[in-house]
Structure 1
Amino acid sequence: MTETLFLTSDDVAGLAEIDEFVDAVRDGYRQRGLGAPAKPRTTLVNDEPAGMLTSYSAILPETGAMGGYMYPAGFSAGDAWFMTPLFDAETGEPLALIDGASMNPFKTGAAGAVGLDALAREDATSLALIGTGAQARGQLKAAMTVRDIETVWVYSPTKENRESFAGEMNEAYDASVAAVASSAAAVEDADIVITATTASEPVFDGDLLKDGAHVTAMGQYHPKKRELDATTIARSTYVPDLRERATSDAGSFLLAMESGDVTEEDIHAELGEVVAGEKPGRESAEEITVFDSGGTGIETVASAYMLYQKACEDGLGSTISFSPASEALTGE
């Protein structure tokens, strides 16, 4: 039997600051850029009841951990549960099983911030945020750790949602946060554009992006999800979290390829390659850059291990037992 730490969502909620998530995720992508194994998500879709089962994984050798995410979404419950198994990268022994619900917006926000930091102009101070859900909150909070944001324009289709979100964020941050009536009004003067939606059609016109803008799109995790139009993809230096994912489930890039606006050769680099210094990031002030963040095991393992270490230090969680395969198979 192996004793494994079990951490509930409440155990890990508030356990780490957002900059700690960003630091951990940045190092995870650096390891990926140097060859750490990671695979895009695998999604199994069920028709009746409607739902999907998703999983993805990564090994971070320098961190000393491996694991990933597995979660169902939809089905008759109409909800999702994020299970995060974490293993020792040297021995393979289970270290922890973590309920990933509370960490989800923060580890995803951290991935967005790492991409932003690697690709956005250093002097970027204005930000357009399309979306007002939990992921939008995480993206904004993380972005604030890597750039001195002075102005934020927020848009979502529901007026009440965008105004409520803007009011709350205006009190939370030193930046001026205002709701605007259209995505065009948010995007046209922004140094940074973040899309945090579940859209199946583009949420802004790529012709409105000003020269030098950076775009982080984090809602393109399915071939039918398409936050960005072909114009945005074609105008940009395009960097996905994983190169393999760009041609399997990155909806905007896939549709831009189908329309003939780009080819697979237009994938500039993976984020990890840029973070590790293996490939250049932004090379001019006028360049438009895109980070396509569909979700990987890299940010999941990096964040989970960081939380695991902090939980061990604070004596949090309970233990559960796992039998090794040798014992289970032989009964000895």
Structure 2
Amino acid sequence: MKTLLLKKDEVRRLISTKDVIDAVEEAYRAFNSGLVEQPGYTGIHLPPHGEIDFKIGYHKAGELISMKASSGGFTENPALYGVPNGMGTILLFDARSCALICIMDGSLITGLRTGAAGAVSVKLLARKDARRLASIGTGNQARMQIRAISEVMKIEAVHAANRSPDALAAFKADIEREFGIPVMPEQSVRDAVEKADILITTTRGSGPVVEADWVRPGTHIIAIGTDQRGKQELDPEIFRDAKVVVDSLSQCVEKGETWHPLNRGIIARSDIHAEIGEILLGRKPGRESDAEVTIFDSTGMAIQDNTTAAAIYRNALAGNLGMPFDFLEPGPRLKDGKDKDNAQPSDH
């Protein structure tokens, strides 16, 4: 059996934004259908450099196990080591044998599937007449959100806020060039939020960036930046009368934006409306009125990496892309075809 190596450029060529949205919906449905094993992810802080997360997921229907390592915040990497400040690697294992079948660059996948998660939430939770986005944060993930959301709705304008005028100008130029969507730089976060039908937060904030009284009735909020304790983007008061939807309840109540209003006693765990897979499966409703504020708390799930990487792997095999190599050394075989070295399970 060969192991396939897929580099970043090959990953980029092997999947479209629409395909990623479909893969993320598949992941959410599988998760809420009992077809996923997904241990809690491990995050390691490496001050003063950055952080690295490890996420593992098993998709029972697809018979694939994925393991992703994803790092970020290593701002000195380009100068000191000649590598990016954030990197990702995904390993895919055939669950029937646990053989390593693919090693692929995961840096694009993380961004793509996180953007797709926001787009799925827009389909289910945003007002049908929503046209204006506010982007608080103007980095790579903000771009990914707009790329995915533009697949599921018509965006008339993006109101953006950032403390760096240069970052804001670059964001405006990129979005207008790629999508033809006008970007309105705002003087403050409040100015952007007050104009939003859909609010996207993609910062690394450690305290509230958005205050409750800035949010208009009917706004849909996509909270992306908080995926570990110590991070925060939203005033917990926003949750008090909002419809709260999460990707994974167990993750969000421990590490997501939802932890903050729970910790303050503003909401109880029973006030969380649904996991997004439950809405996709029709078990719970999405938006029910144009006036309600909806929040999608996305901490990121290993099963999203799994289904997205699986689609890329299948496309690579179909298109004969990537580099197959001999990673696994075959053992001697018994007459019945079983591997002699592994005929019995280990006691270790």
Structure 1 length-normalised TM? 0.90
Name the structure 1 match of 2:41.
41
Q: Does 1:302 align with 2:301?
A: no
- How many residue pairs get matched? 327
Alignment of 1:266 onto 2:271: yes
1:55, CA displacement in angstroms?
A: 1.1
Alpha-carbon deviation of 1:300?
0.7
Letter in 1 for 2:88: F
Match of 2:335 in 1: none
Q: Helix, strand or coil for the counterpart of 1:103?
A: helix
Deviations 1:162-193 (A, max 9, x none): 12211321232243222111111111121100
Shift of 1:74: 5.8
1:64 shift after superposition: 4.0
Correspondence for 1:236: 242
**Alpha-carbon distance between aligned partners in 1 of 2:20 and 2:341, rounded to the nearest angstrom:** 36
SS in 2 for 1:129: strand
Question: CA 1:193–1:328 in 2, change beyond 3 Å: closer, same or farther?
Answer: farther
Equivalent-residue separation in structure 2 for 1:213 and 1:75 (angstroms): 34
Asked if structure 1 preserves the Cα contact closer than 8 Å seen for 2:253 and 2:262, the reply is no
2:75 and 2:200 map into 1 onto residues whose CA distance is: 32
Deviations 1:260-291 (A, max 9, x none): 21122222111111112222221222111111
Distance of 1:202 and 1:327 partners within structure 2 = 59
Report the CA distance shift for 1:72/1:135 in structure 2 as closer, same or farther (over 3 A): closer
Quick one: which of 141, 144, 147 aligns to 1:138?
A: 144
- Match of 1:43, as an amino acid? G
Which amino acid is the alignment partner of residue 41 of structure 1? Y
- 1:58 paired to 2:57: yes
Q: Distance in 2 between matches of 1:23 and 1:32?
A: 14
DSSP-derived class of the 1:207 partner: helix
Please name the residue that 2:66 is paired with: 67
Q: 1:247, 1:253 within 8 Å by CA — same for their partners in 2?
A: yes
Paired residue secondary structure (1:216):
strand
Residue identity matched to 2:271: D
| Whole-Å separation in 2 of the counterparts to 1:89 and 1:116 | 33
**5 Å matches for 1:1-332?**
2-37=1-36, 38-46=38-46, 51-73=50-72, 78=77, 79-250=85-256, 252-320=257-325, 321-323=327-329
Classify the secondary structure of the residue corresponding to 1:147.
Answer: coil
Q: Distance in 2 between matches of 1:13 and 1:181?
A: 35
Larger radius of gyration: 2
Q: Percent identity?
A: 32
- Partner amino acid, structure 1, of 2:312: L
Cα distance in 1 for residues equivalent to 2:45 and 2:160: 33
The one-letter code sitting in structure 2 at the alignment partner of 1:143 is I
Larger CA deviation: 284-293 vs 30-39: 30-39
Structure 1: runs of 5+ lacking an equivalent: none
Question: After the TM superposition, which of the residue ranges 85-94 and 222-231 deviates more from structure 2?
Answer: 85-94
Equivalent residues of 1:86, 1:95 under 8 A apart: yes
Asked if the contact 2:70–2:107 (Cα under 8 Å) also holds between the matched residues in 1, the reply is no
Q: Which has the higher contact order (CA 8 A, sep 6+)?
A: 1
CA 1:17/1:74 → structure 2, altered by over 3 Å: closer, same or farther?
A: closer
How far has the Cα of 1:323 moved from its partner? Answer: 4.7
Identify the residue that residue 346 of structure 2 maps to in structure 1: none
CA drift of 1:76 comes to: 10
SS at match of 1:13: helix
The one-letter code sitting in structure 2 at the alignment partner of 1:44 is: I
SS state of the match for residue 234, structure 2?
coil
CA distance, structure 2, for counterparts of residue 204 and residue 287 of structure 1: 17
Measured in 1, the distance between the counterparts of 2:61 and 2:317 equals 19
What are the Cα deviations for residues 133-180 of structure 1, in whole angstroms up to 9, with x where unaligned? 111110110011111111211111112211221132123224322211
Separation of aligned partners in 1, 2:340 and 2:323: 23
Measured in 2, the distance between the counterparts of 1:90 and 1:193 equals 42
Moved more, 125-134 or 111-120: 111-120
- Which segments of structure 1 move beyond 6 Å, counting only runs of 4 or more? 324-330
- SS of corresponding position for 1:211: coil
SS of 1:123 mapped into structure 2: coil
How far is 1:77 from its partner?
A: 6.6
